[in-house]
Amino acid sequence: MEDEFLDELDPQARRHAEVVVDLDSDQRTCPACLHEYAAGPVRCPACRLMIGA
């Protein structure tokens, strides 16, 4: 079912949908803007989306 959903998305939307937020990782990827940054801040430095506690 998930594969059917992902197949209907354009490539950029698919990248957003496939992002896994791992709060224990040293490197994070924001699911909103796909900015990659080092763990630490609870907000994405690029778009300010709150990720974490």
Angle at 44 between CA 41 and CA 46, to 5 degrees: 130
Indicate the number of domains in the chain: 1
pLDDT score at 51: 86
**Cα separation of 38 and 8, whole Å?**
31
pLDDT score at 48: 96
pLDDT > 70? residue 53? no
22: containing domain? 1-53
pLDDT in tens, 30-47: 989 999 999 888 899 999
pTM score, whole prediction? 0.70
